[in-house]
Amino acid sequence: MYLFSDRLYHQEEIKLDDNTKQVIFSTIDNQEIIDWLKEHNFPESFIEDIQNEDQSITYEENEKFKLIVLKYFISDEEDEMYYNDENIVIIVMENKFLFLGRNKSTIKGITTKLYKRYKHNDTLEYVTYTVIDIMIDHTMWLLDRIDDKLEEIEDHIFAEDLDEQDVQKSLYFARRTLNRISKLSIQTNDVVNKVFNHFPTATKKRLKYEFIDLKEHLSFSINESKSYLERTGYLQNLLMGFLSNRMNQAMQRLAAISLIFLPLTFIVGNYGMNFKYMPELDWKYGYLLVWILNILIGWFIFKWLKKNKWI
């Protein structure tokens, strides 16, 4: 568990003080925090939202609590283009900011980034903005990473050592990730609007431009994810076209080889017939003539195919 006051503390047990401003980062399954919330009349429906792994992005509030559920993208070991999303819970009260996540590395990463920007006199509303900004910046970084990977794939499609199965797999996971980013960014934008609109008037004036910046970043994420989604479709078509062309070339070579041997097979077939009178059979140079004829026909057909770039 992490606690912010005038500096960053890391302890196994942190006491929640009702009379002190505290910014706390912990895991969703921290029973101490859940019990404390229940003692302070945290709604049961909010508890269910916190503990539900399938909970969608949402904003809820009552007289004492503001509950924000967002999504944070984490990489999956299956593929570097595949990212799963996990729930991030933010609870804001008069003098408490609680950040609850499922993945400890996620909590630590966001805590470290906030620590670089945190000041002791920051309001909890500003802390809320900062944490959301860190999460949105992470999504934008993720989009940049996918963009770089798509450029690598585009450059690699025509390489001789292309592994088409690996490329198809990466494009498939990229499409899944980009679809998810686009959908969740739209939902996050709605929640950000609700968060801002439920601030007191003085706070809205003070944080107006910060939240405009947030919405611009979300708009960028939505547009870029859709743009990259179209790009993955283009790369899939390009890959399939390249594979189809390579298959056509292979079939063309097979057809060319068949064309060389077709007249030769015809000649050999003629001499395989059992006729009694075949003049060449009694001729001393008949066997040599057939070989010369086969070689010349095969060579002329090969040169013709080479000239027309069939081979």
What residue ranges define each of the domains in the chain, with the CATH number in brackets? Answer: 2-245 (3.30.460.20), 246-307 (1.20.58.340)
pTM equals 0.78
Distance between start and end Cα atoms, the chain: 68
Is residue 259's pLDDT more than 90?
no
Six-digit token pair at 70? 């967002």
CA distances from 293 to 44, 81, 177, 278, 311 (A): 94, 59, 63, 17, 22
Average pLDDT on 37-52 reads 87
Q: What is the residue-averaged pLDDT of the chain?
A: 86
Band of the pLDDT at 192, cuts 50, 70, 90? Answer: very high
pLDDT at 1 (0 to 100)? 52
Bridge partners, residue 67, by sequence: 60, 91
